[in-house]
Chains A and B, each alone.
Chain A
């Protein structure tokens, strides 16, 4: 395992894009220390900010005590990146494979434009989880994100494939403009869940306080695939899906084609 430990008293923000198991493979600690990073908009040597310890390159451990590291695991395609401490914004952005394990909280735009791989978060997550990067039109397009805590607003915005599991709560507009894919929120969500939903499925552990007016109550239904999904999810984030296959189904968002569904316990 290769370990990078953020030095004490480093101010400002550090962009960790490109610091991945693959890019460090074959480099001795001294060589890793000379890689350049962006720190508050300036290029600096990695060694100025981190203590480096060499080891098996397939796993990279990053230790930090405050949420100042952005783009952790951005572009990860292979191997394992473990973060001990809080992650900044943009973690797992455009990830295509491998595992990103976040031991603390994560900031905004986690798993933005993710295409593959797995992300586990032990803590809470900010806004725009799995959303499209600003200015782009598609969000998460593959892979799995499992969040043990709660998430902010706009989780799954413009998501088009993949699976997001949230054990805690989601903020407002969860699943907004979602194109396809599955978003599971066990602990309830804020206002306007599913706003602009085109296709795809929102599975809510608790009925929302209200849905947009452009959703139709389609009544209770028996959906056997929920059993399959439940067993699949059990191996990723246990007991996040409601037990059973009988749910109440709302169809919408009718203002946007209305081919999506919001499922709540019947």
Chain B
């Protein structure tokens, strides 16, 4: 048994806010303090250190096909950021890698662990691409993984919806998709819009009928949110709303929240959906209205998708949005493609500039959202890696949230007109360590239904991070002193010391398997593979590289 002695614990799941205490690790788990007879064979004095559970990123594009396309599109991203291989003292080695915005799989895992992250969720796994996504995630070491299956633009679902199929049939299809693709949640991207793009629509509003199927994005959201709820999936329907990036889209975003009609709904990268049309440039912040709505509606959660300045690449299933953005590509090359009629994919490299009015205001809007949403349990820290910025900028983002002087200093550097337009300077809030622990640990774990992750209570898996309490929060969060994964020390002073594989979280929903009959016929008639070949068996998960499969039961039954 290992004792971490005397640290200041930040464990929001148990309402522990910086109290000093000892933590005991045994058999990969956190255990209750042993009695006088307990054998403690290791002890690390962490007096004065900040101790949190391993961080969880619930929206980061680390697999699922788009990253490979980004890698192929941007060899310069790799050339410019090489990572040499390294031998480990305890045996084994770290693979060499490369990449700033679209790093190699190994490099992705090492970098996440070196910041104290122990789980990452890929939010955009196309069912047709699921096997690739699992292979790619399996290749990412150090952290546990999971993926959200994308539905809502696929022909089978849109046919069901437009034919007025019974909700139970839709539930079965959603359940089957979760099961067949080993997913952890359901995501919908530009509901119906990706499909409409293929019918030459370049826009699809929430209540606009799809040019072919006649259904509206609102109907898509409602049917999927209902299915996710009825199946008892812990994470709400994960929604990339319509009209991403378009000035004035805040109205759509608010209407999308309302469209859930009280059912749980998660709005992702909400920064990109909080824009107004005021001012001479017809681009303004609607962060206040969006944040007020989130504060008011307990069924709504969101992640921010903060942008940070510099070179990155945007990678999205939203072909409609990415086609619209391609003229901003920097460097000037881009990919927009269909994938198996299932959804789509668009990869557009992008450089956010602090002296550009729009980019500067996007930066301020994201921060405004962070500071205006009062409940950190329902707001998660993301940059929508790599869309807003690579995940390696999280420590910088945490400092922006925790340090008002630092934030206002940066505000002085951005496009002056954008700074003047934003109310950011007037927002005095500074995040506490407790709130950071909520939005990066306890919150995501609760939202995903991970009962034994994201907290430090007895019985939890021992994913534990120890930070030095430095005034410079960026330096502090960039380089934890210790990171434990399932009780093993994997990072020391911000450097990997042991390589582990990480497991895969997947849901095991209950649904009527009779759905396989129409599905099998559909696949035979229209698709390029057989239905049976789409399905990913439990035994494939470890073959894909994960250390193990962690199955999760669904909570509610309809």
Residues from chain A with Cβ under 8 Å of B82 in the complex: 38
- CB <8 Å contact, B73 and A42: no
Q: Which of B76, B84, B331 is A42 in contact with, Cβ under 8 Å?
A: B84
Contact code string A39-63 (vs B, CB < 8 Å = 1, else 0): 0111100000000000000000000
- A133 sits at the interface (CB 8 A): yes
Interface centre among B74, B76, B82, B84 (most CB of A within 10 A): B84
A contact residues around B331 at 8 Å (CB): 136-137
Tell me the chain A residues, 172-205 only, with Cβ under 8 Å from chain B.
none
Tell whether, in the assembled complex, residue B74 and residue A41 are in contact, meaning their CB atoms are under 8 Å apart.
no
Whole-angstrom distance between the Cβ of B99 and the nearest chain A Cβ: 12
Say whether B85 contacts A136, CB under 8 Å.
Answer: no
Proximity bits, A131-166, B CB within 8 Å = 1, else 0: 001111100000000000000000000000000000
Q: Place the interface of chain A in its size category.
A: 10 to 19
Segment 59-87 of B: residues with Cβ below 8 Å from A: 73-76, 79, 82, 84-87
Chain A residues with Cβ under 8 A from B84's Cβ?
38, 41-43
Q: Does B96 contact A (CB under 8 A)?
A: yes
Total A-B Cβ pairs within 8 A:
27
* Contact of A135 with B76 in the complex, beta carbons under 8 Å: yes
- The answer to whether B75 and A133 touch across the interface, beta carbons within 8 angstroms, is yes
In whole Å, how far is A75's beta carbon from the nearest beta carbon of chain B?
A: 13
Judged by DSSP, the binding face of A is: loop
B76 cross-chain contacts in A, Cβ below 8 A: 133, 135-136
A177 to nearest B CB, angstroms?
A: 15
Give B81-98 as 1s and 0s: 1 = Cβ < 8 Å from A's Cβ atoms.
010111100000000100
Q: Which residues of A contact B87 (CB under 8 A)?
A: 42
Asked if A42 and B74 sit within 8 Å, CB to CB, the answer is no
Q: Once bound together, how far apart are the Cα atoms of A137 and B330, in whole Å?
A: 12
Closest to B332 in A: A137
Among A38, A43, A135, A136, residue most surrounded by chain B Cβ atoms (within 10 Å): A135
Rounded to whole Å, the gap between the CB of B101 and the closest CB of chain A is: 13
Residues of chain A in range 106-139 having any CB-CB distance to chain B below 8 Å: 133-137
Alpha-carbon gap, A135 to B333, bound state (A) = 9
Cα of A41 to Cα of B94 in the assembled complex, Å: 11
Q: Chain B residues with Cβ under 8 A from A134's Cβ?
A: 75
How far, in angstroms, from A17 to B82 measured CA to CA in the complex? 12
Chain A: minimal CB distance from B36 (Å): 50
User: Which residues of chain B are within 8 angstroms of A135 by Cβ–Cβ distance?
Assistant: 73-76, 79
B86 contacts across to A, CB distance below 8 A: 42
Please name all residues of chain B whose beta carbon is closer than 8 Å to the beta carbon of A137 when the two chains form the complex. 331-333
* Cα of A42 to Cα of B84 in the assembled complex, Å: 5
Q: Kindly state the separation between the CA atoms of A43 and B96 in the bound complex, as whole angstroms.
A: 10
> Shortest CB–CB separation between residue A62 and chain B, in angstroms?
21
CA–CA, A42 to B87, complex, Å?
9
Query: How far is A40 from B85 in the complex, measured between Cα atoms in Å?
Result: 9
CB distance from B371 to the nearest CB of A (A): 39
**Complexed CA–CA distance, A40 and B75 (Å):** 19
Q: Please indicate the chain A residues that have their CB under 8 angstroms from the CB of B332 in the complex.
A: 137
A42 to B86, CA, bound (A): 6
- Of residues 237 through 278 on chain B, the ones whose CB sits less than 8 Å from some CB of chain A are none
Distance between B496 CB and nearest chain A CB, rounded to angstroms: 15
Other than the given A43-B84, A136-B76, 5 more pairs (CB < 8 A) read: A42-B85, A133-B76, A133-B79, A134-B75, A135-B79
- Chain A interface (Cβ within 8 Å of chain B)? 38, 40-43, 133-137
| Top 3 closest pairs, chain A to chain B, by CB | A135-B75, A41-B96, A134-B75
Footprint of A on B, CB under 8 Å?
A: 73-76, 79, 82, 84-87, 96, 331-333
| 7 pairs from A and B in contact (CB 8 Å cutoff) | A41-B85, A42-B87, A133-B75, A134-B75, A135-B73, A135-B74, A136-B331
